């Protein structure tokens, strides 16, 4: 990711000084009502749009990958979507709006600078599972909380973080699943929801292999943010010392600097989580017998283990998390799916008994890396 770019705060402060009013930013952020700010921005953009020419538009497309057409074959992606929805036959298929309520991504911890902010109280969707969580909450509020809501969606996302690597695109397609319900005790809901969602991913991957896609191996890795926070605290590194001070992308680097080594790949949780942490170990053991073992029996050849070095999402998820890792024909192992439990519907419905599992698989990444005839991956420098 690109470095040393000035922050939006510094840019705004410089503009305010240039305008001769150092209070300008505070007035716009804190005092101007949202409706009036929207009107101001709409007027500004309308007036600026009058000077745009066709040549300007073409130059923008040529230099900015954010608005260029994707190079993927739309027919193959459409077929991949069809296979994904077929694998998720137990989920309601929904077509999401391209925009979400303003600020909803920030509520989940996504930096607003990584979101394409719009006007009229909206922003371009940066994570389909957030919009799906809102839909789950609406349905559960309207229809009652006795049942389970299962949704599936395919969506093209836009992320605004700048990448130095040209192989990364700011817009890409994901296939997402969410499962919303109520706590049923002993984390039975969590186990069932994980089995269901992982069965969808494994069914899709099995069908792709049968169609000739080059996927030599599949591994499911489970973890739990409660376990990771406990391991950090036990090692003298409370999460608060990282949160807000260290980028989540650099957690591993920071722990290495502090001389801390986490357990890593684990087959039997109780060998790592014993003594005062035994209760957490027993939770993980139930995931082994209730999730990994049934999936291994249903999908022969699928590996399953725990990852007690995973810090990705430790500030985002709450409880069990999952990674889907595929082995490439050249031997490298690549994560293509990610998910975990969140507290979003608890907050939306003001009910601590609500449970929500979110997950997404990078279908466009699958297309580019594992479809038949794909060019070999570029070896890292």
The DSSP annotation for 269-338 comes to GGGTS-GGGHHHHHHHHHHIIIIIHHHHHHSTT-EEEEEET--TTTTT--SEEEEEEEE-TTS-EEEEEE
Q: Within a 10 A sphere around the Cβ of 205, how many other Cβ atoms? A: 24
**Domain limits of the chain?**
8-51, 73-370
Bridge partners for 361 per DSSP: 175, 337
Q: Within a 10 A sphere around the Cβ of 206, how many other Cβ atoms? A: 18
Q: pTM for this structure?
A: 0.86
- Using 50 as the pLDDT threshold, list the residues of the chain that sit under it: 1-4, 165, 380-381
Type and span of the H or E element at 198: helix 188-210
**Cα separations (Å) of 325 from 101, 220, 361?**
32, 6, 10
The predicted structure's pLDDT at residue 128: 92
Q: Where are the beta strands (DSSP E) in 159-293?
A: 171-182, 217-224, 264-266
The predicted structure's pLDDT at residue 22: 74
The predicted structure's pLDDT at residue 271: 86
Per-residue pLDDT tens digits for 165-183? 455 567 788 999 999 999 9
346 Cβ neighbours under 8 A, 6+ residues apart: 352, 353, 354, 356
The predicted structure's pLDDT at residue 340: 96
The predicted structure's pLDDT at residue 37: 83
Superfamily of segment(s) 73-370? Bira Bifunctional Protein; Domain 2 (3.30.930.10)
Q: Within a 10 A sphere around the Cβ of 320, how many other Cβ atoms? A: 24
The predicted structure's pLDDT at residue 169: 65
Residue with tokens 């690549």: 334
The predicted structure's pLDDT at residue 205: 96
Closest CA to 198 of 225, 218, 226: 218
The predicted structure's pLDDT at residue 143: 86
Distance CA 166, CA 81 (A): 25
The predicted structure's pLDDT at residue 336: 94
For 284, the token pair is 């993980």
DSSP strand pairing (320-327 vs 217-224):
antiparallel
Sign of CA dihedral 284, 289, 293, 294: negative
């Amino acid at each position: 990711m690109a470095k040393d770019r000035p922050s939006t705060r510094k840019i705004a402060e410089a503009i305010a000084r240039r305008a001769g009013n150092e209070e300008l930013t505070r007035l716009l952020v804190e005092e101007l009502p949202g409706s009036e700010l929207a009107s101001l921005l709409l007027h500004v953009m309308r007036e600026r749009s009058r000077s745009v020419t066709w040549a300007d538009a073409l130059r923008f497309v040529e230099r900015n990958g954010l608005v260029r057409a994707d190079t993927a074959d739309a027919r193959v992606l459409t077929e991949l979507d069809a296979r994904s929805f077929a694998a998720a036959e137990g989920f309601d298929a929904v077509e999401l709006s391209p925009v979400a309520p303003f600020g909803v991504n920030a509520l989940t911890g996504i930096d607003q600078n990584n979101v394409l902010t719009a006007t009229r109280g909206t922003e371009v969707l940066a994570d389909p599972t957030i919009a799906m969580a809102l839909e789950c909450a609406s349905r559960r509020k309207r229809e009652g909380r006795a049942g389970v809501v299962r949704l599936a969606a395919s969506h093209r996302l836009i992320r605004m973080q700048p990448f130095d690597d040209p192989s990364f695109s700011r817009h890409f397609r994901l296939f997402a699943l969410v499962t919303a319900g109520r706590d049923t005790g002993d984390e039975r809901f969590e186990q069932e929801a994980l089995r269901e969602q992982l069965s969808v991913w494994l069914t899709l991957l099995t069908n792709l292999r049968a169609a000739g896609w080059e996927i030599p191996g599949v591994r499911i890795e489970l973890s739990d943010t409660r376990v990771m926070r406990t391991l950090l605290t036990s090692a003298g590194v409370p999460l608060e010392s990282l949160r807000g001070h260290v980028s989540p992308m650099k957690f591993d680097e920071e722990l290495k600097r502090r001389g801390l080594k986490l357990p890593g790949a684990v087959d039997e949780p109780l060998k790592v989580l014993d003594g005062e942490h035994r209760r957490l170990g027993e939770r993980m053991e139930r995931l082994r017998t209730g999730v990994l073992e049934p999936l291994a029996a249903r999908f022969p050849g699928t590996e399953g283990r725990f990852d007690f070095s995973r810090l990705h999402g430790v500030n985002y998820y709450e409880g069990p998390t999952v990674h889907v890792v595929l082995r490439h024909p050249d031997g490298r192992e690549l994560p293509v799916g990610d998910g975990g439990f969140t507290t979003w519907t608890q907050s939306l419905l003001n009910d601590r008994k609500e449970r929500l599992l979110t997950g997404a698989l990078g279908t466009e990444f699958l297309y580019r890396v594992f479809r038949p005839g794909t060019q070999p991956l570029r070896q890292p420098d």
